[in-house]
Every structure is written in C-alpha cells, then in structure tokens.
C-alpha cells in the first residue's frame, strides 16, 4: 500500500491509525496486514528522526524531545519549510493493503478518523 509520509504522520498523530490497527479484523485482512503496525511505527520513527535532523540542519532549536514547535533564531525557517514539505510529500510503501470497512469486526473509529485514514480504508 502506498501512502505519503504526510498521510501516515497525520493518521498516526491523530490517533486514528492506532484505533484502526487495534480493531479486530477478519482473518484474511488480519493476515494480509499483519506487518502493517510495525512498518507504520518504523516509518513514523524515521520521519521524526529526519524532522529533527532538518531542524538542526537549518539552525532550529527544539525546546524538548517531541516538541511540535521550534524556533530558528538564526534564520533558516524558510529552507526548513521547503525541506519538510519535500519530506512529507514522499511516498512510502507499506506492507498489506487498504482495509475494507466490512473487514473490521468491531467499531472503535471516530467519525473524524475516516478523513485521516483515507489511504488505509476502502469501501
């Protein structure tokens, strides 16, 4: 399944991806997507490392680990923004395939989750 880093980070950051992955699935869908949780976790980890590296590369300061806001006291914010957009627009290949709504054996998704989970779900 192909997704952009942006789609993955948004789904993970909103909690929607964790909710989706925790829902019981049909045997076939569960088997086809058995490697998806670990792959998503690894891609998000790689994104976070690359994001921190870009902040540092462009002279930014991170107030604490995992902070979403940071400062660029010496400039460099525009260059950072160009680079982070390029990173977020990259496509990654995840194992498995989008889940059919009928393969989900229980509820657990919020109405707002469906937008964030676009590339992970099909009707």
At 71, give phi and psi (nearest 5°). -115, 150
Domain ranges of the chain: 2-122
pLDDT in tens, 44-74: 999 999 999 999 999 988 878 777 788 888 7
Q: Could you give the 3-state DSSP secondary structure of residue 4?
A: strand
Sign of CA dihedral 30, 99, 89, 60: negative
How far, in whole angstroms, is CA 104 from its chain's centroid? 20
pLDDT in tens, 82-111: 999 999 999 999 999 999 988 988 888 898
pTM score, whole prediction: 0.87
Mean pLDDT of the chain: 91
């Amino acid at each position: 399944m192909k997704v952009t880093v942006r789609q993955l980070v948004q789904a993970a950051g909103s909690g929607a991806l964790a909710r989706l992955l925790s829902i019981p699935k049909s045997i076939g869908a569960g088997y086809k997507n058995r490697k998806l949780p670990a792959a998503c976790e690894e891609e998000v980890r790689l994104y976070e490392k690359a994001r921190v590296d870009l902040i540092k590369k462009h002279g930014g300061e991170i107030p604490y680990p995992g902070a979403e806001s940071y400062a660029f006291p010496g400039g460099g914010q525009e260059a950072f923004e160009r680079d982070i957009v390029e990173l977020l627009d990259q496509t990654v290949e995840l194992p498995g395939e989008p889940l059919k709504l009928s393969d989900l054996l229980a509820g657990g998704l919020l109405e707002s989750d469906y937008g964030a989970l676009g590339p992970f779900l099909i009707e």
